[in-house]
Chain A
Amino acid sequence: MKRTVKSISILPAYGLKAAVALAGAALLSFGLSAAARADDLAVWDDQTYEGQSAVIEQLNKDFEAAHPGVTIKRTARTFDDMKLTLKLAVSAGDGPVITKVNQGAGDMGAMVKEGLLLPVDDYIKQYGWDKLQSDSVLARDRWEDGKFGVGKTYGISGLGEIVGLFYNKKILADAGVALPQTFEEFLADLDKLKEKGVPPFMMGSAKQHLALHMIGAIDQAHIDASNRAELDDLIYGRGGSWNTKGNIESAKLVQQWAQGGYFFPGFEGISGDDAVQLFISGQGAFLISGTWYFGDMQHNPDIGFMAIPAPKGISKPMSVGGVDLAWAITSLAKTKPTQDLAGAYIDYMVSEKAAETWANAGYLPATSLAADAKPKLTPLLSSGIEMWKTLNANDALGHYPDWSSPTMLKTIDDNTPLLLSGNITPEAFVDAMDKDYQAYLKDKK
């Protein structure tokens, strides 16, 4: 303490130059000491919503307790913020050691190409992550020479996502409609609801992607998991065509629904998020969307969740879905001990215990729960977890169509309103998707 005072008192004697030099040295030594503390673990995640953030805080605290001396420096960024800053921060050298990263060419693919992410295959083997999650889930984090879905694995996700059918039990019961078991029954139910003056579907196509998920979900429910190779090839940029009978049929069906009054009136001017709120308030019998709305949907106890009923003859129907952003280790983990610590952290984040914490908070974990786990589940989440189990057992977790090329989401967004309004034919809609995809394949070569 005394020495500090003395050193300050002699500062003026050295003049400005010395002060600047001292400040520089202090900054440098601070920088060095920060870098030298290997036990500080800089982690970035995208869990900015209150409920999700609380789970991460809890898990981080538990991890620190299990690893004395380790301090987690957490930064939470929204999905968009993460997209904008992660790559630049890591390449500039002051980003995270562990991060959540968006799968796909624009983010994970680009970072792998620049050598900014480290493969996690050793940790998959060491911790047995391949036993916690199915191979088709892990494949979403694989990249090699610009090819998606093959090669080394660069991450693993903690949360799962499934697109399915939300239904309002009360509205169905009032209309005398039973829950459909097959796709044919589903179509009959829709007609019956419409006859009774109930809008069969809640829909909002002004913003977000309810219509895209509907078209994808209808299409993939018609694909048996044993025939999934064609869809995988499309998504992973290995080739193929979107111009299939199945895709055209799905687009045609959705167009007929839009034109035939099966959607909530005014859906063209309602955003997806607003449509979900209207559905929760008791408008519309069905809504096709994903498990990420569980938190909102649970406010109406009449709402249930199920897979899109499969047509006769399809025993293992696929469901559109995937996983949230993946946990990955960046190139800033320079030493083996740091890398191992990062591996241990990720292992904790995808462990059965973390899965239970997520489930208790109402979120669908990507890792199956332990056999003896007793989480307090909402009815919606129970259905979600059951579906996730079945999909993984059947290897039937499908894909978001927009993952197939970097521009696909824009192409689908541009053409969906035209399809729904009848301005283009279903064939033209599928053509536009395929044109985008073929251009992407050509560019890749």
Chain B
Amino acid sequence: MSTAIGLLRDDHSFGFMEYWMKRSALDGSQHANLIYLLPGLLFYAAFVFGPILAALGLSLTSWDGLGMPKWVGLGNYADLFSDSRFYIALRNNAELMIFYCVLPLVLGIALAACVWNLKQREQLALRTFLFLPYIMPTAVLGIIWAWLYNPAFGPFNQFLRAVGLGAFALPWLGDFNFVLPAVGIVATWYFFGFCMVIFLTGIQRIDPSLFDAAKVDGASARKTFFWITLPLLLPEIRVVLLLTVIASIKSFDLIFTMTRGGPANATLVPNIYMYQLGFELNRFGAAAAIAIVGAILTFVINYAIHRFVGSQHKGVA
């Protein structure tokens, strides 16, 4: 009897909990739960999706920011693709990708491979030091690096002159040939530590027995790196590429604070051009067209990275 009561009690308590769990609104049908997405969805619609649609609509009009927008169809896009400045901006952006994506990636992997072999404490110290640039706002970095490059009082040129290399003390941010690399190097410096940290976590993920097996087989460090580490890091390479490519296409703050796109458009990128068209020339339709082209470009390049990088290791990714 007592057992029966106990069972009954257990049954009852179970039934009680079950009752309450069933009462949880989240146990309803998926369809009914959609309502809980509503607040987030409303925010997303108001601040992300709405503006994207608005930009798309705006790009089909001629609008000075004040009067009624005038419908021009694909006119803004036609203008854009016959505008030599836009092609200059695209070319500059492509060149900047070397500094935003390729160099940080190569440096990041190389450093990760070196740092990985260090002792725990040294590894932590180096990881922290090299990651530091990434915690700074890029706009601030732009201002500071512009001072470093200053031909009159910047330390770079003062150093060059001090060691007798005055001939190489160039006006970096005013030189047509060197201005793009000068700005790009800052992006590389900003991203390489971040890439290294991602790759270090990637290496941690790799099964150590693979390295042991390679060692037993007598593989050199170089071979181990190219045949084991690198292929197994493809998922991380993909992540790094995605992030840095997006950063390079949306690059604005660094260039705005360092050169504003100058001299003579030598560092003009689509986003700076968008700003100039919109906020300086009141051609918001044309500016919106650049934004849309930029978004499409981001999607296409990211799709290509998704499709072609790291796809043979789907399980890992």
Residues of chain A touching chain B, judged by Cβ–Cβ distance below 8 Å, are: 80, 83-84, 87-88, 91, 106, 110-111, 113-114, 205-207, 264-271, 274, 278, 283, 406-407, 409-410, 413-418, 421, 423
User: In the assembled complex, how far is the CB of residue A384 from the closest CB belonging to chain B, in whole angstroms?
Assistant: 27
B151 interface residue per 8 A CB criterion: yes
**Can you list 27 A-B contacts with CB-CB less than 8 angstroms, sorted by A residue number?**
A84-B279, A87-B65, A106-B282, A110-B282, A114-B67, A205-B174, A205-B263, A206-B171, A207-B260, A266-B169, A266-B171, A267-B171, A268-B151, A268-B171, A268-B175, A269-B174, A270-B171, A278-B152, A278-B153, A283-B152, A407-B281, A410-B281, A417-B263, A418-B264, A421-B176, A423-B176, A423-B264
Q: Contact: B65 with A88, CB < 8 Å?
A: yes
User: In the assembled complex, how far is the CB of residue B227 from the closest CB belonging to chain A, in whole angstroms?
Assistant: 46
User: In the assembled complex, how far is the CB of residue A47 from the closest CB belonging to chain B, in whole angstroms?
Assistant: 21
| CB nearest neighbor in A for B282 | A106
Q: Contact: B262 with A413, CB < 8 Å?
A: yes
User: In the assembled complex, how far is the CB of residue A279 from the closest CB belonging to chain B, in whole angstroms?
Assistant: 11
Question: In the complex, what distance in Å separates the CA atom of A341 from the CA atom of B183?
Answer: 52
- The count of residues in chain B whose C-beta lies closer than 8 Å to any C-beta of chain A is 31
Q: Contact: A207 with B262, CB < 8 Å?
A: yes
Question: In the complex, what distance in Å separates the CA atom of A267 from the CA atom of B150?
Answer: 9
Contacts of A91 in B (CB 8 A): 66
Instruction: Tell me whether chain B's interface is mostly helix, strand or loop, or mixed.
Output: loop
Contacts of A83 in B (CB 8 A): 279
Q: CB < 8 Å: which of A267, A269, A270, A415 contacts B170?
A: A269
Q: Contact: B262 with A111, CB < 8 Å?
A: no
Q: Contact: A110 with B260, CB < 8 Å?
A: no
Q: Contact: A417 with B264, CB < 8 Å?
A: yes
Contacts of B171 in A (CB 8 A): 206, 266-270
The 5 closest A-B pairs by CB, nearest first: A266-B151, A268-B174, A269-B171, A417-B263, A269-B174
Question: In the complex, what distance in Å separates the CA atom of A421 from the CA atom of B170?
Answer: 13
Q: Contact: A266 with B157, CB < 8 Å?
A: yes
Q: Contact: B152 with A264, CB < 8 Å?
A: yes
Contact string against A for B residues 132-158, beta-carbon threshold 8 Å, 1 for contact and 0 otherwise: 000000000000001001111100010
Question: In the complex, what distance in Å separates the CA atom of A207 from the CA atom of B146?
Answer: 11
Q: Contact: A265 with B279, CB < 8 Å?
A: no
User: In the assembled complex, how far is the CB of residue A167 from the closest CB belonging to chain B, in whole angstroms?
Assistant: 19
| CB nearest neighbor in B for A419 | B264
Q: Contact: B173 with A269, CB < 8 Å?
A: yes
Contacts of A406 in B (CB 8 A): 281-282
Contacts of A111 in B (CB 8 A): 66
Question: In the complex, what distance in Å separates the CA atom of A278 from the CA atom of B264?
Answer: 24
Q: Contact: B151 with A414, CB < 8 Å?
A: no
Question: In the complex, what distance in Å separates the CA atom of A268 from the CA atom of B150?
Answer: 10
Contacts of A417 in B (CB 8 A): 174, 176, 262-264, 266
Question: In the complex, what distance in Å separates the CA atom of A87 from the CA atom of B151?
Answer: 41
Contacts of B262 in A (CB 8 A): 206-207, 413, 417
User: In the assembled complex, how far is the CB of residue A259 from the closest CB belonging to chain B, in whole angstroms?
Assistant: 14
User: In the assembled complex, how far is the CB of residue A14 from the closest CB belonging to chain B, in whole angstroms?
Assistant: 27
User: In the assembled complex, how far is the CB of residue B180 from the closest CB belonging to chain A, in whole angstroms?
Assistant: 14
Q: Contact: A206 with B173, CB < 8 Å?
A: yes
B100 interface residue per 8 A CB criterion: no
Question: In the complex, what distance in Å separates the CA atom of A283 from the CA atom of B152?
Answer: 10
Question: In the complex, what distance in Å separates the CA atom of A418 from the CA atom of B266?
Answer: 11
Q: Contact: A206 with B174, CB < 8 Å?
A: yes
User: In the assembled complex, how far is the CB of residue B152 from the closest CB belonging to chain A, in whole angstroms?
Assistant: 6
B123 interface residue per 8 A CB criterion: no
Contacts of A205 in B (CB 8 A): 174, 263
Question: In the complex, what distance in Å separates the CA atom of A267 from the CA atom of B263?
Answer: 12
Contacts of A268 in B (CB 8 A): 151, 171, 174-175, 263
Question: In the complex, what distance in Å separates the CA atom of A413 from the CA atom of B152?
Answer: 22
